Amino acid sequence: MKDRFLIKQLLLALLLMPVLVKAQEADKNIHIYILMGQSNMAGRGKVTDEYKNQQHDRVIMLNKENEWVQAKHPLHFDKPKAAGVGPGLTFGIAMAEAYPDVTIGLVPCAVGGTSIRKWVPGGYDSVTNTHPYDDAVRRIQVAMKKGEIKGIIWHQGEGDSGSKSSQIYVDKLTELIERVRKKVGNPNLPFVVGQLAMYRDNYQNINKELPKLLTKVPYTTIVSSEGLWHKGDGTHFDSPSAAEYGRRYAEGMLQLQNKQPKPKAVQSKSTFNTLSDKEKTEGWELLFDGKDPNIRWRSVKGDTFPTAGWAIENEALVLLPGRKGGDVITREQFSDFELLLDYKLADSANTGIKYFVSELKNEKGKVELNGPEFQLIDDYKHESVKDNKSPETSTGSLYLLYAPKDKVLNKPGEWNQVKIISKGKHVEHWINGKKVLSYERGSEEFRKLVADTKFKTYKTPYGEATFGHILLQDHKDKAYFRNIKIRRLK
C-alpha cells in the first residue's frame, strides 16, 4: 500500500510539473532592457522637480534589493550621493510608447568611474566595492525570471579614452557583448552604444574607434551625442542632455528591432544649411541642418524642441505667430565663439538672439534664464522703433544698452545676415557684413548701462557669464532662421 501511495504521489507531481514550470516562465509582455556602462549611463544630472515627477505607468525598474518598482530618477545606485538624471528613464518611456501593449523593465547596472577593464568576470572596482560585470550578470539572471531580455544600452569609455587604451577599446567591447549575449542566450541581442560627449577632446579617441564595432559585431548600432552638454563639470551630461540621449538610445534600439526604419540618405542636395570644405577646416558647425532642430536645440521649458509654435519651411526654421512655441536654446553652451545666421522678419515683427544665456537670480531669489540680446525687429514698421525712435532697441542693438551705428538693412520679407563675435569680454555685432557695434562685457561702462535698465534687479551679474546658451526668442511674431552656424574661437 505504501509503495502504491508513493507511485500515485510521483505521478501527480509529474502531472503538475508543466504547470509549475509554466508559472515560472518569463512574461513575454514584459520587455527587459539592461543599462550598462559608467557614470553618464548611471546619470549625474540634477533631479529637479520636473525630473523627480517623471515616470510612466508601464515602465518599471529592478532596484538595489532586486525588487521591481515604478521607475523614477535616479535609476542607479552605484554612488547614491552622486546619482541623478541619466538616459535610462526617457529611454524606457520612449520604448513603452513604441510598444503600447507591453511593460518595459529597466535593469540599472552602470557603475561610475569604471574602465572597460573592470567589465570582465571577476573584475573589481574598489571605489564602489562592486564587481561590475559579475553584479550585472546576477541582476540579468533575476530579470530573466520576470520578462524577456530585449536589448542592452551601453555608455562607457571616458576611463579608456587615452590614446593607447582607446586603440583596444572596440576589441574589449566586442568580447563583452559576446559574453553578455551568451549569458542571455541570444546571439543577436540588440546592443546600442552611445558616443562619448563631444565637449572633451580626448573622448574623440573613443568616438573615432566606435564605427569599427559595426563591422565586427552584428545587431549593434551607435547613437550620436551631437549637441549634448555637461552640467558644468566638463564630464557629466546635464539633465536635459541625458534625457535627450535616452530618446536617441530608443531610436537606435527600435531600428535594430526593425520597429523603426533606418534614416534614408537624402538624395537632393541642400541649398542652405551646409558647410563648405573650407568652413569645416575652419571649425564651423551647423546648429540647424534644415531638418531636425531637436539635435542642437531645445525648449527653455523642457528637454525637447517644441512640438508647436515652430515649423520648418524650405529648409528654414520658422517661428510661428502667437507665442505657442516659446523660446528655444542650444543644448550646448558657448564661450568664445563666432555665430552666423540668416534671418527674415514678417511685417512689424519683433524677436531676438540672446547669447551667454545662463541662470540668473532675480530680486525675489527666483532663477531665470537670460543673457545679452542682439535685437531683431522691423525697424521700418514696428511702432516702438520706426523713425529712429529707440536706437538702443532697434535691430542690431545690444537690447537696452548699446545702439548700432551705420547699419544697412534689407526690408522685412527679405533676408539679412547676423554675425556675433565673442572673444573674452569683447563682443561685436555685425549686420550684412558690416560691424555695427562692439562692447566689453563686465566693463565699468557696461555695468553703468545695466544699472539704468530692468536688468539691474538681477543678483547675478547680467551678461557676465563665462559660458552660456544661444537663444532664439519667441516674441509672438513670425520670423525665419537658416544657415545657423557657429565656430569656437581659441
Note the pLDDT tens digit of each residue in 163-185: 999 999 999 999 999 999 999 99
Please, which pLDDT band fits residue 16 given cuts at 50, 70 and 90? very low
Q: Which of 192, 227, 256 corresponds to the end of one domain?
A: 256
In CATH, what number is assigned to the domain containing residue 344? 2.60.120.560
Yes or no: say if 346 and 364 are a contact pair by the CB < 8 Å rule.
Answer: no
Domain end marker among 221, 256, 291 = 256
218 and 303 inside one domain: no
How much is the pLDDT for 21? 35
Nearest to 427 by CA among 401, 448, 451, 408: 401
Question: Do residues 244 and 296 both lie within one domain?
Answer: no
Q: Element (H or E) spanning 419, and its range?
A: strand 416-423
Long-range contacts of 274-280 (CB under 8 A, 24+ apart): 275/485, 279/485
Are 190 and 106 contained in the same domain? yes
Q: What digits encode the pLDDT tens for the residues 407-450?
A: 999 988 899 999 999 999 999 999 999 999 999 999 999 999 99
- Residue 217: per-residue pLDDT: 97
Beta-strand runs (E) in 109-196: 147-155, 191-194
The total of other beta-carbon atoms located within 10 Å of residue 186's CB is 15
What's the CATH number where 168 sits? Answer: 3.40.50.1110
Q: Are 388 and 409 in contact (CB under 8 A)?
A: no
Kindly state whether residues 317 and 374 are assigned to the same domain: yes
Closest CA to 467 of 296, 199, 232, 228: 232
User: What local confidence, expressed as pLDDT, does residue 25 receive?
Assistant: 75
Which of the listed residues 198, 221, 256 is the one where a domain comes to its end? Answer: 256
More confident residue, 241 or 17: 241
Q: How confident is the model at residue 261 (pLDDT cuts 50, 70, 90)?
A: low
Question: All 3 cell numbers of residue 122?
Answer: 571577476
Indicate whether 5 belongs to any domain: no
Residue 251 and residue 304 in one domain? no
Tell me phi and psi for residue 205, to 5 degrees.
-60, -40
Q: How far does CA 180 lie from the centroid of its chain?
A: 27
Residue range 183-229, pLDDT digits in tens: 999 999 999 999 999 999 999 999 999 999 999 999 999 999 999 99
pLDDT at 455 over 50: yes
Strand partners, 108: 35
pLDDT score, position 159: 93
Residues 376/479, Cβ–Cβ less than 8 Å: yes
- Coil, strand or helix at 361: strand
Q: Mean pLDDT throughout 354-367?
A: 94
CA distances from 347 to 350, 378, 413 (A): 9, 7, 7
Query: What is the Cα–Cα distance from 480 to 342, expressed in whole angstroms?
Result: 8
For 288-316, what is the mean pLDDT?
A: 96
**What residue type is assigned to position 9 of the chain?**
Q
Is residue 14 over pLDDT 90?
A: no
**pLDDT for residue 412:** 82
- Are the C-beta atoms of residues 422 and 374 closer than 8 Å to each other? no
Please state, rounded to an integer, the average pLDDT across all residues of the chain.
93
One domain for residues 314 and 448: yes
- What is the domain count for the chain? 2
What is the spatial distance between Cα 230 and Cα 160, in angstroms, rounded to a whole number?
19
Look at residue 137 and tell me if it is in a domain: yes
Vertex 213 angle, CA 209 and 217, to 5°: 170
102 φ, ψ to 5°? -125, 165
The pLDDT of residue 364 is: 87
**Model-level pTM?**
0.90
In a domain, 451, yes or no: yes
Residues 321 and 220 reside in one and the same domain = no
User: Are both 305 and 416 inside the same structural domain?
Assistant: yes
Claim to verify: residue 361 and residue 426 sit in the same structural domain: yes
Beta strand 191-194 with 220-223: parallel, antiparallel or unpaired? parallel
Q: What would you measure as the largest C-alpha separation in the chain, in angstroms? A: 114
Overall average pLDDT of the 339-354 stretch: 97
Give me the pLDDT at residue 26, please: 86
In a domain, 6, yes or no: no
Range of the domain at 447: 277-488
185 with 86, same domain: the answer is yes
